[in-house]
């Protein structure tokens, strides 16, 4: 028997659930879980462990191959998400499922438009949507198209949508992956008000700090099986990491790095771009890893897209000493510049194509005659370095877990032999072990001479792995830090205050 199950009747009990996909792909082998009313139940597991699969079974998006699901004492067999929603289970997907061209209000009530005399009741719809948006503290209107919102605000829309349902259980699959600390605090406040009303939350995250901040209990999954359920208080990080990885894993620590040379790979003395982007004196040398820190919307993504030719700019950029004016991504790729975008679903992958074809996309674009066997071998090697979990290199990317898709995006640019790598939140959705592997690979690429710019909202990561850290504020690069001497607090403060000159900050 798991910890204290007898204490209270669970709102949901999943017993020995399994999901096997055609071709005998075991996505979930044997998962058992019970959720109490009003608790935040976290789910922890490595990339590909089966978390999203388990959640989709609970939310009616997958029929389980084996096992049972009991909601409030009544056995259930949901055939689709609508049935689960009607029974009180609402899910916020890892890959958000909003329709970009529709408005916030339309998205929130998609599929269950309130009607009066059979017509769409716009007023009623607006009212329900507005109330839910207010609860999540959204600062945007009901009528804007979802595509125009940042990922963070799209996430808030999805949470608000879950609130418009009368849910007993709200499932959140890695909500924090797209949120900064302030936004996450807001989501946590929403979660606390929901649990106070007896609503249970099932919450997936790879970050231990979050599980500690919000979780009551945590269930660990490894290789598609439940390891155990633990109370969050009184269980050490060590115990949890061992439960999911089956081994000890050093958490992120700063490792010594060889100093890089003096050859400047890319420099932008002055640059202006959309959304108020204004860059001064930014440069990156061969072999150097530069971190970009700052709040969401501070200009990091805009800069990376400008450098990739994905957004227009004015000003000067030099690449390997020659003028560089990319008008489209193809210009950037031709000059050896690669981008791992923030939103892998929109820019990074062709989901229905084979893994190796995705990994080889930029190389295919450059060289028309290339053997597919060597592409298969090359991508398998890079993906192996990152311990990517897949069943065949010809499998469509859509079938991979979220974290493993991210590894495919990264491998594209490694295979392409990019000399300048622009990485926007590259570790988003990776488990602790995979994160460490990703940064080890980034460091290896730098040692081979690649120049790397990496934007991350997780300061710990860039603090441990970068040679220099530029802090962004309202579109400008305001201060540069040497992480071997600056403290984490200095860097965080600079991101919040945002002065360009250190002397402007009062002691």
Chain residues that interact with ligand ATP, rule: CB under 6 A: 21, 25, 27, 45, 47-53, 94, 389, 399-404, 429, 431
Beta strands per DSSP E along 276-373:
277-285, 289-294, 314-319, 322-323, 337-340
| 50 touches, from Mg ion, ligand ATP, none (C-beta below 5 to 8 Å by class) | ligand ATP
Q: Measured from the CB atom, is 51 or 468 closer to Mg ion?
A: 51
402 is a site residue for Mg ion (CB under 5 A): yes
| 2 touches, from Mg ion, ligand ATP, none (C-beta below 5 to 8 Å by class) | none
Q: Measured from the CB atom, is 95 or 474 closer to ligand ATP?
A: 95
Nearest to 245 by CA among 222, 228, 263: 222
C-alpha 145/C-alpha 103 separation (Å) is: 4
Q: Measured from the CB atom, is 47 or 363 closer to ligand ATP?
A: 47
Q: How far is the CB of 210 from ligand ATP (least distance, A)?
A: 14
Q: How far is the CB of 465 from ligand ATP (least distance, A)?
A: 21
47 is a site residue for Mg ion (CB under 5 A): no
Nearest to 26 by CA among 46, 3, 54, 4: 54
Q: Measured from the CB atom, is 50 or 495 closer to ligand ATP?
A: 50
User: 423 with 442: CB under 8 angstroms?
Assistant: yes
Q: Return the bridge partners of 15, or none.
A: 68
User: 218 with 43: CB under 8 angstroms?
Assistant: yes
48 is a site residue for Mg ion (CB under 5 A): no
What tokens appear for 373 in the block?
């066997």
User: Which residue number is nearest to Mg ion in terms of Cβ?
Assistant: 52
Beta strands per DSSP E along 185-263:
200-204, 217-222, 225-231
Q: Measured from the CB atom, is 103 or 388 closer to ligand ATP?
A: 388
C-alpha 222/C-alpha 224 separation (Å) is: 5
User: 340 with 420: CB under 8 angstroms?
Assistant: no
Q: Measured from the CB atom, is 88 or 224 closer to ligand ATP?
A: 224
Q: How far is the CB of 497 from ligand ATP (least distance, A)?
A: 35
C-alpha 420/C-alpha 213 separation (Å) is: 37
Nearest to 408 by CA among 446, 433, 378: 378
| 399 touches, from Mg ion, ligand ATP, none (C-beta below 5 to 8 Å by class) | ligand ATP
Q: Measured from the CB atom, is 48 or 475 closer to ligand ATP?
A: 48
Residue 136's H or E segment, with its range, is none
| 348 touches, from Mg ion, ligand ATP, none (C-beta below 5 to 8 Å by class) | none
341 is a site residue for Mg ion (CB under 5 A): no
| 45 touches, from ligand ATP, Mg ion, none (C-beta below 5 to 8 Å by class) | ligand ATP
103 is a site residue for Mg ion (CB under 5 A): no
What tokens appear for 459 in the block?
């300061």
User: 433 with 264: CB under 8 angstroms?
Assistant: no
The residue ranges that bind Mg ion (CB under 5 A) are 52, 94, 401-402
């Amino acid at each position: 028997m798991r910890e204290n199950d007898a204490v209270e009747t669970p709102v949901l009990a999943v017993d020995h659930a399994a999901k096997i996909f055609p071709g005998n792909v075991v996505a979930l082998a044997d998962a058992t879980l019970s959720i109490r009313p009003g608790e935040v139940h976290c789910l922890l597991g490595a990339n590909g462990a089966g978390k999203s699969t388990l959640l989709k079974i609970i939310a009616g998006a997958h029929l389980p191959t084996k096992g049972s699901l009991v909601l409030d004492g009544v056995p259930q067999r949901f055939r689709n998400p609508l049935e689960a929603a009607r029974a009180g289970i609402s899910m916020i997907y890892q890959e958000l499922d909003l329709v970009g061209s529709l408005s916030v209000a339309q998205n929130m009530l998609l599929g269950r438009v309130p009607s009066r005399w059979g017509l769409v009741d716009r007023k009623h719809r607006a009212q329900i949507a507005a109330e839910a948006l207010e609860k999540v503290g959204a600062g945007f209107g009901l009528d804007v198209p979802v595509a125009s919102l940042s990922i963070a605000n799209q996430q808030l829309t999805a949470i608000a949508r879950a609130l418009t349902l009368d849910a007993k259980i709200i499932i959140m699959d890695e909500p924090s992956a797209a949120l900064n600390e302030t936004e996450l605090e807001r989501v946590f406040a929403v979660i606390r008000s929901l649990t106070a009303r007896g609503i249970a939350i099932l919450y997936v995250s790879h970050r231990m700090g979050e599980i500690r901040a919000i979780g009551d209990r945590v269930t660990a999954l490894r290789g598609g099986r439940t390891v155990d359920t633990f109370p969050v208080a009184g269980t050490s990080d060590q115990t949890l990491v061992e439960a999911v990885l089956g081994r000890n894993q050093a958490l992120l620590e700063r490792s010594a790095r060889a100093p890089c040379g003096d050859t400047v790979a890319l420099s932008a003395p002055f640059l202006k771009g959309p959304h108020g982007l204004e860059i001064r004196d930014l440069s990156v040398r061969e072999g150097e890893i530069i971190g970009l820190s700052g709040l969401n919307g501070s200009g990091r993504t805009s800069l990376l897209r400008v450098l990739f030719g994905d957004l227009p700019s004015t000003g000067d950029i030099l690449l390997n000493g020659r003028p560089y004016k990319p008008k489209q991504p193809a210009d950037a790729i031709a000059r050896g510049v690669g981008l791992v975008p923030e939103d892998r679903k929109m820019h990074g992958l062709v989901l229905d194509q084979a893994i190796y074809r995705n990994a080889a996309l930029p190389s295919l674009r450059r060289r028309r005659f290339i053997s597919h066997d060597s592409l298969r071998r090359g991508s398998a090697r890079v993906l192996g370095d990152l311990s990517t979990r897949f069943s065949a290199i010809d499998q469509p990317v859509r079938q991979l877990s979220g974290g493993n898709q991210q590894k495919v995006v990264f491998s594209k640019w490694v295979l392409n032999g990019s000399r300048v790598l622009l990485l926007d939140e590259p570790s988003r959705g990776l488990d602790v072990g995979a994160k460490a592997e990703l940064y080890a690979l980034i460091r290896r690429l730098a040692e081979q001479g690649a120049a790397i710019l990496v934007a991350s909202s997780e300061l710990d990561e860039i603090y441990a792995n970068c040679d220099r850290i530029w802090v962004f504020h309202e579109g400008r690069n305001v201060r540069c830090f040497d992480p071997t001497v600056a403290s984490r607090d200095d860097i965080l403060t600079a991101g919040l205050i945002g002065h360009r000159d250190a002397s402007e900050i009062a002691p």
